[in-house]
Structure 1
Amino acid sequence: MGDMGTVIPAGFLVAKQIKEDHKVTPFSVVVHAGDISYAGTGAHDEISEVWDLWGAQVEPISSIVPYMTNVGNHEAYYNFTVYRNRFRMPGPESGGLDNFWFSFNTGPIHWVSMSSQ
């Protein structure tokens, strides 16, 4: 998924539906392809409270299923500082660089995540 954001109440409704879908058809991973929380309001803003709200929003699913992320343009504020401090993806362990380029396996699927940011 991508572009989830924290648009209240829609973001919480999306997260709730993901958890309900998981109950019906269990999945082994969530892949969030950028534009995660929309915590920035401009080129030089980053609102940590919005990130906290987003964390509360996805916690019901991220606490039971691995939640993999990569950046979009909305994570770019302050050179991706908030993203780098809140997320730890398997970059070096998978032969990639940092949190932005990595790969991992779930079952027979090999996922590759590359940032164009």
Structure 2
Amino acid sequence: MHNENEKVKSFKAYKRKKKNKNKRGIFKRKTGVLVIILIAAIGVGNLCIYQVSSKLKYQIYYLEKDLKKQKNKLETLQVEKLGKENTNTLEEDAIEKLNMIYPTDSQKIYISVDD
């Protein structure tokens, strides 16, 4: 009976050791799965960040392009404005500084042009 009691104790100890080993194995497997999930999550996060940054770069490019068009249009309008202002100032300067006046009807000569 003594021998059989030792076998039972050793069997129980064997079961406990085996159970502990299984727990360690499960922990290792869970850790491995968690690491893989973490790496996948980081990869997906990087892809999302890259997608957002690409979208923003695309928008910035087209906004800069539109800004350049608007600046060119503004410059054209400013040149036109200066041309119109200069005509008015030119006329005023001619009248005031050079004492020029518009010709009267008697001073005007009309020329007929034959085709």
Q: Normalising by structure 1, report the TM-score.
A: 0.17
Higher helix share: 2
More contact order relative to length (CA 8 Å, sep ≥ 6) = 1
Higher strand share: 1
